[in-house]
């Protein structure tokens, strides 16, 4: 992660506790496949500087199949078939802003523009969703969500699904925009995600507050 993020985390969190969490994950890596790769777990902190954050999109945990997870919520590596939730995100993006469905599901360009793509749990074991949900990652990720809320203004927080919506108490709604809708998974996408226009609503809010909007196009 960047030195700025490292300073924020070490100043506010117990360093020994974070070391313990990482050590527990490393122990699992010695026994089974864990995603994302060790050097990509903190990509969301490497690619999006605190000062640049405009939008926060909260996921649950990484994709749990080989080659998919890359340390950014909902993102996959180049050349990887879109998981259903990501494909539905692109379908809504096309419906909302007329943007063509991209060839790659790698959301790095969003992250570099200030879209903070954070999963609540940062690692997962192969074919076992939520397998690391009790490892304590939420101590770090909840802190980061609340820290952004407390120390920035006019950020758009996008809460997709019930799990992400549990994070709402961490966010100061009076100085940020909170957009809530159903999760883009096939099981719930038609309960509010399709037609939610979260992308245009995000950019409208940013423009209203004098902030450069996000270019949601991908290659």
Of the candidates 73, 87, 89, the residue with the CA atom closest to the CA atom of residue 41: 73
**Catalytic member of 61, 100, 142, 150:** 61
Local structure of residue 50 (DSSP, 8 states): G
Q: From residue 61, how far is each of 122, 134, 163, 202 by CA, in Å?
A: 6, 12, 10, 23
Of the candidates 157, 138, 119, 113, the residue with the CA atom closest to the CA atom of residue 40: 119
Q: DSSP letter string over 128-140?
A: BTTTTTTSSHHHH
Contact in structure between 121 and 138 (CB atoms under 8 Å): yes
Q: What is the dihedral of CA 58, 116, 17, 137, to 10 degrees?
A: 20
CA 22 to chain centre: 19
3-state secondary structure of 161: coil
Cα–Cα dist 84/81, whole Å: 9
96 catalytically annotated = no
CA 108 to chain centre: 11
Local structure of residue 102 (DSSP, 8 states): P
Catalytic residues: 61
């Amino acid at each position: 992660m960047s030195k700025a993020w490292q300073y924020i985390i070490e100043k506010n969190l117990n360093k020994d506790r974070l070391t313990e969490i990482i050590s527990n994950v490393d122990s699992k890596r010695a026994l089974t496949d864990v995603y994302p790769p060790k050097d990509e777990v903190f990509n969301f902190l490497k690619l999006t500087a605190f000062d640049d954050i405009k939008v926060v999109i909260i996921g649950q945990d990484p994709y749990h199949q080989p080659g998919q997870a890359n340390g950014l919520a909902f993102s996959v590596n180049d050349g990887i078939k879109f998981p259903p939730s990501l494909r539905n995100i692109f379908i809504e993006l096309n419906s909302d802003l007329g943007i063509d469905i991209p060839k790659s599901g790698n959301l790095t360009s969003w992250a570099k523009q200030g879209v903070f793509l954070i999963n609540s749990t940062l690692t997962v074991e192969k074919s076992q969703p939520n397998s690391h949900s009790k490892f304590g990652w939420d101590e770090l990720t909840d802190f980061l969500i609340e820290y952004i809320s407390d120390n920035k203004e006019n950020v758009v927080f996008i809460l997709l699904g019930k799990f992400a919506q549990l994070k709402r108490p961490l966010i100061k709604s009076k100085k940020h925009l909170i957009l809530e809708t159903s999760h883009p998974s096939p099981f719930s996408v038609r309960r509010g995600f399709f037609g939610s226009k979260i992308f245009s609503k995000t950019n409208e809010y940013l423009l209203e507050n004098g902030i450069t909007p996000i270019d949601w196009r991908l290659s």
